[in-house]
Structure 1
Amino acid sequence: MNVDGVEDGGWELDPDDDAQAAVEAVGRQLKLWREAAGLRPAEFGAAVGYGENLIYKIERGVRIPRPEFLDKAEEVLDAGGKIAAMKKDVERARYPKRIRDLTRWEAEVVELGAYGNHNLHGLLQTKEYAHALFEMRRPAYSPDKVEREVAARMARQSIFARTPAPALMFVQEEVTLRRPIGGTMVLRQQLEHLLDVGKLRNVEMQVMPTNLDDHAGMGGEIEILKFGDGSVVGRPDDQFSSRLISGPKETRILELRYGIIRAQALTPRESLAFIEKVLGET
């Protein structure tokens, strides 16, 4: 059984998250069900396998209950499916707001183009690589926040299973293939994953060699999203917001720059061979 201080039955909720009301409502309902069953917080915690401190936090709406916590509460309180049904209410709060927004946009794109210059694009990362990236953030993330961010990043990769499949184009700097984020084995697994993704029919993977003397990507990372209605937006790499650039002048500049970057990079076939070469050297 988990003890107080080990709160893996829920996630921290950002204070300014607009999903706060839903999480608080679920907490109130759980408290009512617990009290109706005649259980004190400590007794309920023992029954579901979590600490009393976590029960208080979930009931106050400051922790987001995990699906498995709600399943266990459903079983213990014999709620006739009513508690399990709450999983839908907290689902959108499970990931940070900026990631929920980004996931919604990525669910609607028909074409996505991205250029990365210091680490691999989030849609390309393995779980281990992403975990290592979030662990090295400064100021340091809490273990809970690292786990929540990694889970959100992995969930975004459902874009590869979409039907119809969107066109996905990635240009990665050579250094992002060589920097041993998480160690040598993590990097090897990551390179193997890139080879698998790069062979998908709707994916174009390109590498930008370091020794290029003319480079249109010196202004930083680029991401361009195109939608079915013909609209185009750009997304800057910003960990603090999920804002999009939608002005025609700005998006036209991004598209021009990205087109030149793709022309300067290795072709997709050359790039896969390059990644295989780096894997052999790692």
Structure 2
Amino acid sequence: MSVDAEAARLESGAEGPDEPGWEVDPDDDWALAVVTTVGRQLKLRREASGMRAADFAVAAGYGEDLVYKIESGKRIPRPEYLDRADEVLGAGGLLAAMKEDVKKVRYPKKVRDLAQMEARAVEIGVYVCHSISGLLQTAEHAKAAFESRQPSYSRQEVERMVAARVARQAIFEKEPAPALGFVLEEGPLRRPLGGRMVWRAQLEHLLAVSELRNVTLQVMPTHCEVHPGLDGKIELLKFEDGTAVGRAEGAFNGRPTSEPRQLRILELRYGTIRAQALPPRESLAFIEQLLGET
């Protein structure tokens, strides 16, 4: 299943028709503007047809409260909601066409920003300390990770974040393919997050991704006493025009940086981490060994 199909499955299958859709981040001005405009168009089309909100809710198969929230810009409508509204109101495809606008804001702003940078990058290097990189997670593994957070996320929040994480993995289908390098700690690879079947599927997915010619996967063994990544995650993204962006937990307030001196520091740390980790072939053999132990 493609990442787009998996994201669509996650988006469409977890909520009943009467449950609220995704909430709009009040600090995301662009998303607020888009969702408000879409809601206004839905309301105008409904009123032009002479249909009350209660009648539309019954005809479309959604709760009246959800209809009001979407039309007032307080909820992000799902694609199937727009399809159904188009059909019930006889909009001739005009309402369904707004799915493209909604698609751009269905994920949180910080995820959209990260996905946009990853989509432009020609080279990405990632070291993750306490988990498996989101770009490498299966949907089931990501779901288990989000559900483990405290305080707990709502079911709708978990669904939305999992779909966003899966959608980012479209980078593996990009042409021309960027160079992708990952260094993962041994500890998270041994943790059966989500249960044994989810754990096994995650290890199999890592082996499958590692077969891609543009992907380098390395494991940092726990017997390595010290290395420059103990403070947390490091990310380096390089672009076609020669610019770059980096971020590291525990450095520069954890904020993205494009300042040359700071980038050199991050590149030195990441390079040292890669040098201390197991080589790619030994890393894959290690993951295969773990898989055999499951």
Opposite residue 27 of structure 2, the aligned amino acid is D
| 8 Å contact from structure 1 (residues 115, 258) kept in 2 | yes
Match of 1:146 in 2: 158
1:208 aligns with 2:220: yes
Quote the Cα distance in structure 2 between the aligned partners of 1:3 and 1:171. Answer: 42
Match of 1:11 in 2: 22
| Local SS of the residue matching 1:50 | coil
Opposite residue 100 of structure 2, the aligned amino acid is K
Q: Percent identity?
A: 63
Give the C-alpha shift of residue 180 in structure 1. 1.4
Match of 1:184 in 2: 196
Quote the Cα distance in structure 2 between the aligned partners of 1:24 and 1:71. Answer: 18
| 8 Å contact from structure 1 (residues 234, 251) kept in 2 | yes
1:72 aligns with 2:87: no
Opposite residue 77 of structure 1, the aligned amino acid is L
- Relative distance call for 1:242 and 1:103 in structure 2 (3 A) is farther
2:138 maps to which of 121, 126, 134: 126
- Relative distance call for 1:242 and 1:264 in structure 2 (3 A) is closer
Match of 2:35 in 1: 23
- Relative distance call for 1:212 and 1:2 in structure 2 (3 A) is closer
- Relative distance call for 1:200 and 1:108 in structure 2 (3 A) is same
| 8 Å contact from structure 1 (residues 2, 51) kept in 2 | no
1:86 aligns with 2:91: no
Give the C-alpha shift of residue 215 in structure 1. 2.0
Quote the Cα distance in structure 1 between the aligned partners of 2:164 and 2:195. Answer: 22
| 8 Å contact from structure 1 (residues 111, 166) kept in 2 | yes
Quote the Cα distance in structure 1 between the aligned partners of 2:94 and 2:262. Answer: 49
2:58 maps to which of 37, 41, 46: 46
Greater Cα offset, 119-128 or 134-143:
134-143
Give the C-alpha shift of residue 57 in structure 1. 0.3
| Local SS of the residue matching 2:235 | strand
| 8 Å contact from structure 1 (residues 101, 242) kept in 2 | no
Q: Unaligned 5+ residue runs, structure 2?
A: 1-14
| 8 Å contact from structure 2 (residues 246, 266) kept in 1 | yes
| 8 Å contact from structure 1 (residues 168, 203) kept in 2 | yes
1:159 maps to which of 160, 167, 171: 171
Q: Which has the higher helix share?
A: 2
| Local SS of the residue matching 2:217 | strand
Match of 2:257 in 1: 245
| Local SS of the residue matching 1:81 | coil
Quote the Cα distance in structure 2 between the aligned partners of 1:260 and 1:242. Answer: 19
1:269 aligns with 2:281: yes
Report the aligned-residue RMSD: 1.7
Q: Unaligned 5+ residue runs, structure 1?
A: none
Give the C-alpha shift of residue 101 in structure 1. 0.4
Match of 1:197 in 2: 209
Task: After the TM superposition, list the runs of 4 or more consecutive aligned residues in structure 1 that deviate by more than 4 angstroms.
Answer: 1-4
Quote the Cα distance in structure 1 between the aligned partners of 2:74 and 2:255. Answer: 26
| 8 Å contact from structure 2 (residues 180, 214) kept in 1 | yes
Give the C-alpha shift of residue 152 in structure 1. 0.5
TM-score by length of 2: 0.90
| 8 Å contact from structure 1 (residues 225, 232) kept in 2 | yes
Which digits, 9 at most, give the CA deviation of each residue in 1:72-99, with x for residues without a partner? 1111111011101111222211000001
- Relative distance call for 1:247 and 1:14 in structure 2 (3 A) is same
- Relative distance call for 1:237 and 1:197 in structure 2 (3 A) is farther
| 8 Å contact from structure 2 (residues 130, 232) kept in 1 | no
| Local SS of the residue matching 1:111 | strand
